[in-house]
């Protein structure tokens, strides 16, 4: 039972902490780039890594870019994540 309680606490922390980085898929079409938010990343407690949660996985060519959240990102998402 204690194991489940720890998992719930970590999940609650992740839900209340704003993400450290936002994940975007960037597709290049000609001279234009199209950015689509696809997820977010949170720092590990020990500061030695990140947990990345992708809401969708791109299937087309392109790249995944991780960027720090901006004020605009936070407003678009409501309270943060």
Domain limits at 10?
Answer: 2-76
User: Does the residue 81 lie in any domain?
Assistant: no
19: left (phi over 0), alpha (psi -120 to 50) or beta: beta
Cα–Cα dist 27/23, whole Å: 13
Per the structure, the count of domains in the chain is 1
User: Does the residue 33 lie in any domain?
Assistant: yes
What's the confidence (pLDDT) of residue 71? Answer: 81
> Residues 8-55: pLDDT tens digits?
555 555 568 899 999 999 999 999 999 999 999 999 999 999 999 999
The answer to pTM > 0.85 is no
């Amino acid at each position: 039972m204690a194991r489940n309680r720890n998992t719930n606490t970590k999940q609650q922390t992740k839900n209340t902490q704003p993400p450290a980085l936002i994940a975007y898929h960037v597709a290049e079409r000609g001279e234009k780039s199209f950015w689509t938010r696809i997820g977010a990343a949170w720092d590990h407690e020990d500061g030695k890594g990140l947990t990345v949660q992708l809401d969708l996985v791109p299937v087309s060519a392109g790249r995944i870019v991780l960027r720090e959240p901006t004020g605009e990102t936070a407003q678009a998402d409501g309270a943060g994540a």
